[in-house]
């Protein structure tokens, strides 16, 4: 066997690529993961807020996928802690969604009904009840809905833990240079070119986040996946003003385990631009202070922006049309952290048994 040959090459070391690598190693496959950056998890998977929502939309099967992934978190967090000594800070903090007027209340009460119908809990609270739970909330709120099953995770730690866990079980990593080309023989990919060197494999997984479409285009398969920029503001306040994730006015506030508070996020379709702007920062700070006036006294720490992989009907999970040895796993948009555990599991099942435990048919990549 050629020394440059491996069973599976994964292109992209974000949370999706690393979750796939981790799940493959658990099933005895030792993949090679390639990332253009010098470390794993430097893009959207680093930038994300780490909120894990108990989805209840009626547009099945997407919410089923989300709920299946959320259910995997407690066991996975414990497994990663034991195997890698990394605490991914999975905390079931719940979300308190605040409303300021009747229209917002109606929208949230509708959401509460949908979640209850799908087996989750939701509690509609008066303003007084909400202040009892979170005294820092503004006196101008009209009420809130508590979603206790929502959780959070520290996503950069999770990517590191998945990569470390995979490496312990034999996954290899080639970091610091992009895949620039594919080598094809008839209708099969047999290798990828990295820094002028060809690396061969039987099967390839494209998990390159918002860059996945540029790679599939090189294989003459145009798939619409592009960047959706999100800006985040990080502040610090002692003692922390919140226990729950709080959302309202189009933003969310995440109290992290390290005492810092994250305010996010914009959704902007501006290409591959990762600038954190004054306007984006101002939007989140203004809304944050309206929700909790004492945030005005917090210490400003940092802003950043990341590029969510946006696909109209994402996520796209399955064999690339026309290729029986190239799998696409991208387009997770706003929920890639939430969906990483189930994506890793299903793609690993597809590659090892051909029979994922949830059907990937609805998520099949389609040519545009
Ligand atoms: C501001 C913001 C807030 C978010 N909040 C949440 C949240 O609260 N909850 C949630 O579930 N999700 C959230 N998300 C979404 C989530 O972060 C993404 O859906 C997820 O990180 C996507 O993971 P990925 O691995 O597909 O992409 P990425 O993390 O972008 O990884 C793709 C990787 O591919 C590599 N790559 C690209 N091209 C090549 C190439 N040619 N060769 C080699 N490597 C290549 C890149 O370097 C990168 O490391 C948020 C995102 C943002 C930006």
Q: Domain with 12 in it: what CATH number?
A: 3.50.50.60
Residues 196 and 186 placed together within one structural domain of the fold: yes
Structural domains of the chain, count:
3
Q: Which helix (H) or strand (E) holds 347?
A: helix 336-353
Q: Domain limits at 118? A: 95-148
Strands 226-236, 260-264: pairing kind: antiparallel
Q: Is residue 174 part of a domain?
A: yes
- DSSP single-letter state for residue 218: H
Residue 345 lies in a domain: yes
User: Both 231 and 215 in a single domain?
Assistant: no
Q: Does residue 58 have a pLDDT over 80?
A: no
Residue owning tokens 């709920």:
67
With both helix axes pointing from N to C terminus, report the angle between 15-26 and 336-353 in degrees, rounded to the nearest 10.
Answer: 40
Kindly state whether residues 56 and 73 are assigned to the same domain.
Answer: yes
User: 113 and 166 share a domain?
Assistant: no
Residues 198, 234 share a domain? no
> Mean per-residue pLDDT for 321-343?
97
Crossing angle of helices 336-353 and 155-168, rounded to 10°: 20
Query: 368 in a domain, yes or no?
Result: no
Q: What is the mean pLDDT of residues 95-112?
A: 95
Q: Domain for residue 122, yes or no?
A: yes
Specify whether the CB–CB gap between 159 and 294 falls below 8 A: no
Same-domain status, 144 and 199:
no
pLDDT in tens, 113-140: 988 888 889 999 999 999 999 999 999 9
What's the whole-number mean pLDDT along residues 337-363? 97
Pocket of ligand 1 (CB under 6 A): 11-17, 34-37, 42-45, 47-51, 178-179, 207-209, 211, 215, 230, 232, 264-265, 306, 308-309, 330, 332-338
As a whole number, mean pLDDT of residues 244-273 equals 95
Closest C-alpha to 292, from 264, 253, 266, 262: 253
Is residue 175 one of the residues assigned to a domain?
yes
Residues 112 and 239 in one domain: no
- Whether residues 249 and 180 fall in one domain: no
- Give 247 Cα–ligand 1 centroid separation in angstroms: 22
Q: In terms of domains, do 207 and 340 share one? A: yes
Q: What is the pTM of this model?
A: 0.97
């Amino acid at each position: 066997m050629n020394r440059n040959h491996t069973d599976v090459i994964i292109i992209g070391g974000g949370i999706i690529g690393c979750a796939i690598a981790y799940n493959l190693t658990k099933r005895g496959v030792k993949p090679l993961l390639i990332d253009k950056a010098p470390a794993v998890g430097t893009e959207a998977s680093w930038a994300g807020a780490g909120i894990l929502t108990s989805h209840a939309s009626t547009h099945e099967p997407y919410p089923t996928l989300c709920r299946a992934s959320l259910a995997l978190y407690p066991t996975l967090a414990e497994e990663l802690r034991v195997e890698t000594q990394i605490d991914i800070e999975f905390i079931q903090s719940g979300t308190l969604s605040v409303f300021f007027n009747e229209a917002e209340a109606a929208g949230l009460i509708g959401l509460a009904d949908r979640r209850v119908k799908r087996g989750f809990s939701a509690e509609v609270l008066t303003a007084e009840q909400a202040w009892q739970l979170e005294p820092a909330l503004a006196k101008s709120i009209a009420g809130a809905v508590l979603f206790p099953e929502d959780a959070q995770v520290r996503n950069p730690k999770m990517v590191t833990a998945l990569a470390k866990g995979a490496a312990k079980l034999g996954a290899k990593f080639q970091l610091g240079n992009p895949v620039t080309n594919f080598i094809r023989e008839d209708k099969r990919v047999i290798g990828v070119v990295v820094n002028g060197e060809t690396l061969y494999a039987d099967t390839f997984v494209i998990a390159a986040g918002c860059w996945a479409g540029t790679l599939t285009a090189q294989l003459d398969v145009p798939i619409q996946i592009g960047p959706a920029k999100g800006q985040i503001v990080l502040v610090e306040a002692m003692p922390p003003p919140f226990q729950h994730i709080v959302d309202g006015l189009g933003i969310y506030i995440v109290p992290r385990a390290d005492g810092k508070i994250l305010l996010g996020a914009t959704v902007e379709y501006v290409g591959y631009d990762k600038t954190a702007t004054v306007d984006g920062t101002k939007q989140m700070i203004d809304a944050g202070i309206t929700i909790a006036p004492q945030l005005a006294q917090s210490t400003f720490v940092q802003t950043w922006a990341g590029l969510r992989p946006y696909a109209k009907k994402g996520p796209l999970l399955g064999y690339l049309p026309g290729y029986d040895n190239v799998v696409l796993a991208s387009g997770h948009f706003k929920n890639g952290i939430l969906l990483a555990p189930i994506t890793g599991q299903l793609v690993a099942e597809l590659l090892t048994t051909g029979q994922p435990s949830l059907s990937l048919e609805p998520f099949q990549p389609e040519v545009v």
